[in-house]
């Protein structure tokens, strides 16, 4: 990866990026080892929450993030209206999606 490839990305709102990533998550549901987007969301007032994107109800903006800690689920719920920014971790599987097919992996 280099900056020439990164320059092919376009700015977008956190809500639009969430929609794209959620569509990817839905396509992974039936796979034995799904590759889910790992996010850190900054909410209003500077609160940070992190986890894998498990569900996003686009019609009412509800988001469910989760992770496993020693085999036990940890779940975080928030509303997309409170999301000020989004950080995507381990981006490689999602570069094609976020670049509208310009960056292939």
For the chain, the distance separating the N- and C-terminal CA atoms, rounded to the nearest angstrom, is 10
Q: Which residue has the tokens 């894998």?
A: 52
Mean pLDDT confidence for 101-105: 79
Which residue, among 87, 99, 100, has the nearest Cα to 37 in the 3D structure?
Answer: 87
* Region 10-39 average pLDDT: 94
Stated pTM of the model: 0.90
Every domain of the chain and the residues it spans = 3-98
- Topology of the domain comprising 3-98: SH3 type barrels. (2.30.30)
Report the mean per-residue pLDDT for the chain: 93
Among 84, 101, 94, which residue's Cα sits nearest to residue 52? 94
């Amino acid at each position: 990866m280099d900056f020439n490839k990164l320059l092919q990305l376009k700015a977008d709102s956190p809500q639009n990026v969430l929609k794209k990533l959620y569509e990817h998550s839905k396509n992974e549901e039936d796979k034995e080892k799904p590759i889910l987007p790992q996010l850190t969301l900054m909410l209003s007032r500077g609160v940070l929450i992190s986890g894998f994107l498990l569900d996003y109800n686009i019609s009412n903006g509800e988001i469910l993030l989760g992770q496993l800690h020693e085999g036990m689920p940890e779940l975080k719920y928030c509303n997309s209206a409170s999301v000020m920014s989004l950080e995507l971790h381990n981006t490689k599987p999602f570069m094609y999606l976020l670049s509208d097919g310009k960056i292939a992996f």
